[in-house]
Copies of this chain bind each other. A is one copy, B any other.
Amino acid sequence: MTDDSDPQFTGVLQSPPGTALSFERASENATAMLDIEPMKPELTFKKRAYTALKKAITGMDPYSSPEPVWLDERQLSEQLGVSRTPVREAIAMLEHEGFVRSVPRRGIVVVRKSLREIVEAIEAWAALESMAARLAAHHASMVDIRGLRTLFESFGEQHPPAAFVSEYSAANIAFHQRLIELGGSELLVDLTANLLLHVRGIRQLSIGKSERIARSFDEHLGIIDALERRDADLAERLSKEHTLGLAAYVEKHGKELLGDGPVRPGRF
């Protein structure tokens, strides 16, 4: 099971041991010119299981079904082609991040966020992104800032955002993630990445009102303007108001999208 039965894992075997020998002699003159690269650390089963499960879980929509979604450790390890141990460790991390919850001797549930929790996630996101905007106004290069514009330049009067919702939605998410990256803080990028995943399902839906899209478009351009003028306070404020606007919108209309709680006896 660990080396030959599963085609998914057989392709990633590491270089033969003999390669290591070259390293010890790297300082000598005869082989010094080889310039061997440091050999990648080889992802563990645990990390690959984590990545695969996270992708699978965030890719589904737990709200589409009225019934909670249950997972099975043994079944997952079979599908992944590894034993339960790395799967369990991956699940432990996902549980810690709030994507699943494991109930002892019952099973593992995919967590359904309540409307309240989603609003909180958007608010936290607003806080972090606006801080990133402030930092970006100070430190980001002009080239990078202008690069934000290119994300939207395919849209215009002949190609209005409101008419190409999914296309605009993708550009929208790319814009926010890029903006946060421009802040130059790895921590802000990491923290917001998970928040975006938690919000994702609802986000696609709530952005899809045409009057909101037009406003969203303008607000993005306003943020870019502020960055180009190096106005940190303005960029921060606009970014925050933009995202808090979404939070308020979701809080007001979210019930229709989610139902009124994470657990519902049935659909009505």
User: What is the distance, in angstroms, from A197's C-beta to the closest C-beta of chain B?
Assistant: 14
Describe A's contact surface by its main secondary structure.
Answer: helix
Which residues of B are found within 8 Å of A126, using beta-carbon distances? 131
Q: Which of A178-203 contact B (CB under 8 A)?
A: 185-188, 191
| Cβ–Cβ < 8 Å partners of A124 in chain B | 128, 131, 185, 187-188, 191
- Answer whether residue A265 sits at the interface, using C-beta atoms and an 8 A cutoff: no
Whether B120 contacts A187 by the Cβ 8 Å rule is yes
- The reply on A38 being an interface residue by CB < 8 A is no
Interface residues of A in 122-139 (CB under 8 A from B): 123-124, 126-128, 130-131, 135
Count chain A residues whose beta carbon lies closer than 8 angstroms to a beta carbon of B: 27
Expressed in whole angstroms, the Cα–Cα distance for A255 and B88 within the complex equals 40
Instruction: Name the B residues within 8 Å of A131 (CB-CB).
Output: 123-124, 126-127
- Taking the nearest CB of chain B, how far is it from the CB of A30, in angstroms? 29
Chain B: which residue is nearest A42 at the CB level? Answer: B104
List the interface of chain A (C-beta within 8 A of B).
41, 44, 46, 85, 88-89, 92-93, 96-97, 104, 117, 120-121, 123-124, 126-128, 130-131, 135, 185-188, 191
* A38 → B minimal CB distance (Å): 14
27 A-B pairs whose Cβ atoms sit less than 8 Å apart in the complex: A41-B104, A85-B85, A88-B89, A89-B89, A89-B92, A92-B92, A93-B96, A96-B96, A96-B97, A117-B186, A120-B185, A120-B187, A120-B188, A121-B187, A123-B131, A123-B135, A123-B188, A124-B131, A124-B188, A126-B131, A127-B127, A127-B128, A127-B130, A127-B131, A127-B188, A128-B128, A191-B191
A214 to chain B, nearest CB (A): 27
Residues of B near A89 (CB, < 8 A) are 88-89, 92
Q: How far is the CA of A127 from the CA of B124 in the complex (A)?
A: 8
**Which B-chain residue is minimally distant from A192 (CB atoms)?**
B124
Nearest CB in chain B: distance from A93 CB, A: 5
Q: Kindly list chain B residues whose C-beta atoms are within 8 Å of the C-beta of A123.
A: 131, 135, 185, 187-188
Complex formed: what's the CA distance from A186 to B198 in Å?
15
A16 to chain B, nearest CB (A): 17
Complex Cα–Cα for A41 and B187 (A): 34
Shortest A148–chain B CB gap in Å is 20
A56 to B85, CA, bound (A): 25
